[in-house]
Chain A
């Protein structure tokens, strides 16, 4: 069928039997070369050399075109990934701003939700030690590093330094959480998992608790641990009903379900 098209041409070009009978007119120059080639061994050698070189050049041209195409694709993907990452960080920082603004309100809301459902596992939020002015300033510098300068390695260093200096307090939990976020963005998934786990295990009653649990689920999903991820994401709604993170976890779970059925 179609595949004969090219095979046939190859046959016509090389097949001397057919060439004698009826040479396609557009190959007459070619057959002239072949006729001369058969009468002169030197020309014959040149003829076959040229044919060989043509084939070789075609193949190389094909390679170059394909690699150029791959390069174009890669640079486009890199650009798209950067834009995606940027967008996610922007979303996160606005989310972060909302959570800290509505911190108190969210706490009382989730507490009353817990009372209504009577769920024993619902976590009650607690207030942590408020930061000093100096602490606030150091924390703000790290946020600038993450959100504006996007210098993630420097941010990781700064976060560890902050955690050393202020081993407990409200911003300490925030710092663990942001350590997770930065690792997730880099992406260093195992480190991200550990950082989020610190928040979910040790500070589950902090206002960052629901977000950290959600992000832990996301991290697990990216590590292809879909079972663990599903369980974690489901627990967000159980532990923190009515929280913003519970909604996000639910959406993410739904998305996972869809991509799961595709494969």
Chain B
């Protein structure tokens, strides 16, 4: 055990320790379930009416309830529960706006599912209404394969979210995360990819040795991660559609913390091939390495800015871990964090105005956000042992790993810290979440 830990990258070691320690608790199998723990005060009331069905369909999934849980996950909406609804219209002309106004609703979503052809495909017609103005904001039809109703529901959530807030939704994006379970006394690591609500998870890699730091390629088709399957750390690129994997970095010593460049052509990696942990850039096609940092202290956990012109990383060159920013073409790194003695694992927001990271204060590890324009630091989480922040592509939600009842779970917090959701995992330990970018079809 010690042998494994001692080879891990500095800032990831603690995660592994947690794995090993908490692995004692008995794993119970189930899907991830979203539970709302805290909501924003000014959430928008929206009624998602159960969808009508024509033909003999009997679906496995309840589209409207998936849309409801999607919307409440953002913290920006508070969906009305079905038992409070006075009527269940499925068409705009059946809506009595007075009823919904009475219930304090601002928007009503109605819809209907009907089979296409032999019933192997399903078509959904959905309409969104503004209750006060009695006006239709959205009226669309979408068709999916019958066993793909979740995809359809997430698509509807995206359309509703975008119509009301003007921002692009993230419900069709995916999560990657690593779980650890004990099977016959042996640790088993699994790399999962699931929907954004934790459902429909699929194991992409299973190993007796640790899997760490999954990172999505900008097109959402590949994952880069660290695997110890050969007994030593190596970075792999895994194409999700084909399942093809390629070992791209297995230098002597450390190979860790992969981060894709925004154009997808290069990775930032932490390697110790020249002595101690430094950040390198690898051109994926040619495998050519460029050393980015040069200091006898530990430099690791790089995260690229969305423009690709700079990156942030963790370094202990000032005696403890702090976050630095550096131009991608060199130059002196500039320290960004001053709020406490421990600031690590930075992730830049999509617009480059904010950096999110693990922040220690009074013995508590939280996720904090630094505004790079005015240097204002805000602590977003209050759970106390929070780590591995990863941002949704719209920059409005952040997933992180935390401890709940001595179990490693994933939690989602809004990027303003207003509301929090936990995704209690029943996989033993869940770690290292990575939120996918938008992909072309979502």
Q: Does B40 contact A (CB under 8 A)?
A: no
| Complex: A61 Cα to B315 Cα, angstroms | 12
Per DSSP, chain A at the interface is helix
Q: Quick one: CB contact mask for B307-349 with A, threshold 8 Å, 1 for yes?
A: 0000000001111111000000000000100100010100000
Q: Does A157 contact B (CB under 8 A)?
A: no
Closest A residue to B296 using CB positions: A54
Q: Considering only CB atoms and an 8 Å cut-off, how many residues of chain B contact the other chain? A: 41
- Taking a contact as CB atoms under 8 Å apart, the answer to whether B321 and A6 are in contact is yes
Do A61 and B319 form a contact, CB below 8 Å, given A21-B2, A24-B7, A25-B254?
yes
Q: Which residues of chain A from 43 to 84 have a CB within 8 Å of any chain B CB? A: 54-55, 58-59, 61-62, 65-66, 69, 73
| Complex: A2 Cα to B320 Cα, angstroms | 13
| Complex: A45 Cα to B6 Cα, angstroms | 26
Q: Does A201 contact B (CB under 8 A)?
A: no
For A5, the chain B residues whose CB sits under 8 A away are 10-11, 13-14, 321, 344
For B95, the chain A residues whose CB sits under 8 A away are none
| Complex: A27 Cα to B8 Cα, angstroms | 12
For A24, the chain B residues whose CB sits under 8 A away are 6-7, 253-254
| Complex: A159 Cα to B251 Cα, angstroms | 78
Do A22 and B6 form a contact, CB below 8 Å, given A8-B17, A54-B296, A58-B316?
yes
Choose from B253, B254, B319, B342 the contact partner of A2 (Cβ within 8 Å): B342
- Taking a contact as CB atoms under 8 Å apart, the answer to whether B319 and A22 are in contact is no
Q: Does B133 contact A (CB under 8 A)?
A: no
- Taking a contact as CB atoms under 8 Å apart, the answer to whether B3 and A21 are in contact is yes
Q: Does A92 contact B (CB under 8 A)?
A: no
For A9, the chain B residues whose CB sits under 8 A away are 10, 13, 298
| Complex: A25 Cα to B234 Cα, angstroms | 13
- Taking a contact as CB atoms under 8 Å apart, the answer to whether A1 and B6 are in contact is no
For A62, the chain B residues whose CB sits under 8 A away are 318-320, 322
- Taking a contact as CB atoms under 8 Å apart, the answer to whether B7 and A22 are in contact is yes
Q: Does A140 contact B (CB under 8 A)?
A: no
Choose from A12, A23, A58, A73 the contact partner of B317 (Cβ within 8 Å): A58
Choose from A1, A8, A65, A66 the contact partner of B385 (Cβ within 8 Å): A1
Choose from B232, B252, B365 the contact partner of A1 (Cβ within 8 Å): B365
For A23, the chain B residues whose CB sits under 8 A away are 6
- Taking a contact as CB atoms under 8 Å apart, the answer to whether A2 and B360 are in contact is yes
For B319, the chain A residues whose CB sits under 8 A away are 55, 58-59, 61-62
Do A8 and B5 form a contact, CB below 8 Å, given A58-B297, A61-B317?
yes
Choose from B320, B363, B375 the contact partner of A6 (Cβ within 8 Å): B320
- Taking a contact as CB atoms under 8 Å apart, the answer to whether B3 and A22 are in contact is yes
- Taking a contact as CB atoms under 8 Å apart, the answer to whether A26 and B342 are in contact is no
In order of increasing CB-CB distance, the 4 nearest A-B pairs are A26-B272, A62-B318, A25-B253, A26-B253
19 CB < 8 A contacts A-B: A1-B365, A1-B385, A1-B403, A2-B14, A2-B365, A2-B385, A5-B10, A5-B11, A18-B2, A24-B253, A25-B252, A26-B275, A29-B275, A54-B296, A61-B318, A65-B322, A66-B338, A69-B335, A73-B375
Query: Chain B residues in contact with chain A, CB under 8 A?
Result: 2-3, 5-7, 10-11, 13-14, 17-18, 232, 252-254, 272, 275-277, 296-298, 316-322, 335, 338, 342, 344, 358, 360, 363, 365, 375, 385, 387, 403
Other than the given A1-B14, A62-B318, 16 more pairs (CB < 8 A) read A3-B365, A6-B342, A8-B5, A8-B14, A8-B17, A9-B13, A24-B253, A25-B232, A26-B272, A28-B253, A54-B296, A55-B319, A58-B319, A62-B322, A65-B318, A65-B338
